[in-house]
Chains A and B, each alone.
Chain A
């Protein structure tokens, strides 16, 4: 069957089907199926969340002040950002105002998460989609040194340094226990870097591994506990007293703040002198590989993030703008209102849930989470062993999130595109510089590589914002303002009997919204629409495809037995996937089964 979706994508499911069974680590298992034509080009893509997570049901009846502690367990990567969205939701519902310092510290923690998450994503998940680790063994350390020194002043760049890294890698590979490098598609023709660029990237993979452990110390200073920081409705749980002694449970003191300041400086340096030059170098070899765009540059959404003024979540206050762009018209930016019942809606006619009327979407405040795991007629396999999904029926535990009825892409590229369209220099200038350096047009942004590049530029933006937030905090403290929490409305007796709220955040991987209804001091309804709900959404009643499905279309595979390009595009969305891949032959027999990340 061959047809054009309402959002303009041509689908053809006549070719042979390939099943990629990736599994997101936390937000639920994920799986993807594609149809390939005779040239191994993807002509149909089906993305499915195969595990139900009923957070909404776990929270019903609980104390709204506790919701964050449950929400941060949704995801092992975005721990803090779920907690942040949750406390904002409850504050919004109850009209609780937070002190300036709490707003600044939250911004600092969120920016820290961006820097950490983007860095770890690039080096420890996504780089292996571009970098052939085994090829690095063939590199000439002297030439690697020359390459590294030509692109960055970063000091670890001598021939001896790269010789040592190569020897370390050699020992690791020779041991036969490849750990994180196990089951890579090493040697696949879709890898385009010369051995020297591969060796440089492997060296920085190891350095980033060491450096990321430093960044998260900021979360420990302000959140108290590691690896699950404390959050608080009404502010932040950390008291600050510059002269306090160092002790468990004692207020944050000057020694700790100096540590934070030092880590910020090193974060900026690492991102600007290692991450960005690596990104640019890698992109220069892949710039002809311009696949994976999908909804990018067409239909994009951001809720906005980083309020510069405490308690002001309007676009005037948000450092990262809120808005939507539709049909690729970058000259018009639409307002986004999360309380408007006609804007954010979720549909379930292709999802394993029931609504009374599945032709319609529901705003999260009216949200229903009632699982209904049924398979379509054309499914191959059984409920416990699905071999092939039937995308004409229900096929995912992810609901189809839509904005004014349209599928949208969320994430760093959407945020940067919005900032670019608004002409904001802090977003436009670095994008233009990167495009000029690579001699690429703006359209090159709307690809898998563009998504990866935007994440890197955003990491740099976030690292510099960390410095700005820290300086604001120090200025406030110097002026004698040490308040970090407002407990005026801590007692439920001060709350209205019935309250609704919405809290949002831009998680590293995209727009995150939590909607709450509090009744008689307990949670009556809680709905979370996470970034993967947007990007990984199944089809809607009109047949429009979501961001993952759209992005995979028309991508050729260099080797039909190794879905490297599929993973490259899916990983560019940062869905924290750990994947089990099963490649199915035309007759349905299993050709190869490999586990990938």
Chain B
């Protein structure tokens, strides 16, 4: 069975850096996905993500990436262009490790067959302790929709959850977007 990994990366404590992780959380809250699709909050992890990536046949990375576009612009990149895109203009440090991890998967001959990067142009990555800026946060819905569309192309059917459905959260509720923002000082 095709193993599909949806990986959100970034540091939720650094404003727009949190986009990837928040987008995966939103996807999880809204859709139920079949067992061969795993949602991963990759945070700022490095090599611990290698086995996750190497085990994937299809990999979707959600991340804040600087392409020099308007803040909040969504940008989709596929396959061989993904590592290139992460090198193009690095704004955030985890991209270095992400790039290395993809490089190592390649060295091992275990890169996923299909890759898609769903990236957002960040406005602010420096504001430690803040949440996402409005133009970036506004793109969460679009990023979720793009991911679902891509999954459909891969033959995956996502089920929209009922409004009263509360799945087990991906991580501790204390750092969920709502709780994080409620206690945000920045």
Q: Which residues of A contact B (CB under 8 A)?
A: 23-26, 29, 51-55, 57-58, 60-63, 65-66, 69-70, 73-77, 79, 120, 124, 168, 172, 177-180, 182, 206, 209-210, 212-213, 216, 225-228, 230, 249, 578, 597
Contacts and interface: CB of A to CB of B under 8 A. Distances in A.
B126 to A, nearest CB: 8
A54 B129 contact: yes
A57 B129 contact: yes
6 contacts: A51-B128, A76-B94, A124-B47, A168-B107, A216-B51, A228-B41
Given A76-B94, A216-B48, A225-B171, A61 B183 contact: yes
Given A57-B186, A206-B107, A227-B49, A180 B41 contact: no
Nearest to B106: A179
A179 B44 contact: no
Nearest to A179: B103
Given A66-B174, A180-B103, A227-B49, A25 B93 contact: yes
Contacts of A578: 93, 96-97
A61 B179 CA distance: 12
B135 interface: no
Contacts of B185: 57-58, 60-61
Contacts of B94: 25, 76
Range, interface on chain B:
35 or more
A175 B132 CA distance: 38
Given A26-B44, A60-B185, A206-B108, 16 more contacts: A57-B185, A58-B129, A66-B179, A69-B171, A70-B13, A73-B11, A73-B175, A76-B44, A172-B107, A212-B50, A213-B50, A213-B51, A226-B48, A228-B41, A230-B172, A578-B93
Nearest to B47: A120
A71 B42 CA distance: 16
Contacts of B42: 227
B108 A209 contact: yes
A524 to B, nearest CB: 14
Contacts of B41: 228
Interface in B101-132: 102-104, 106-108, 126, 128-129
A54 B171 contact: no
Interface string B42-60: 1111111111101000000
B128 A180 contact: no
A73 B44 contact: yes
A52 B44 contact: no
A26 B129 contact: no
A77 B97 CA distance: 11
Contacts of A177: 83, 103, 106
Contacts of A58: 13, 128-129, 183-186
Nearest to A65: B174
A95 B119 CA distance: 46
A230 B171 CA distance: 8
B185 to A, nearest CB: 5
Nearest to B44: A76
Nearest to A60: B185
A53 B17 CA distance: 14
B45 to A, nearest CB: 4
Contacts of B79: none
A69 B41 CA distance: 13
A26 B42 CA distance: 14
6 pairs of A and B residues whose beta carbons are closest in the complex: A179-B103, A66-B174, A76-B44, A213-B51, A69-B172, A58-B129
A69 to B, nearest CB: 4
A55 B175 CA distance: 13
Contacts of B186: 54, 57-58
B23 interface: no
Contacts of A79: 43, 45
Nearest to B170: A225
Contacts of A74: 13
B46 A73 contact: no
- Which of A29, A77, A228 counts the most chain B CB atoms within 10 A? A228
B128 A52 contact: yes
B172 A25 contact: no
Contacts of B103: 177-180, 182
Contacts of B44: 25-26, 73, 75-76
B32 interface: no
Interface string B147-186: 0000000000000000000001011101100010001111
Contact of B46 (A29, A60, A76): A76
B111 to A, nearest CB: 11
A525 to B, nearest CB: 14
A121 to B, nearest CB: 10
Nearest to A215: B48
B25 to A, nearest CB: 12
A77 B103 CA distance: 19
Contacts of A210: 108
Contacts of B46: 25, 76-77
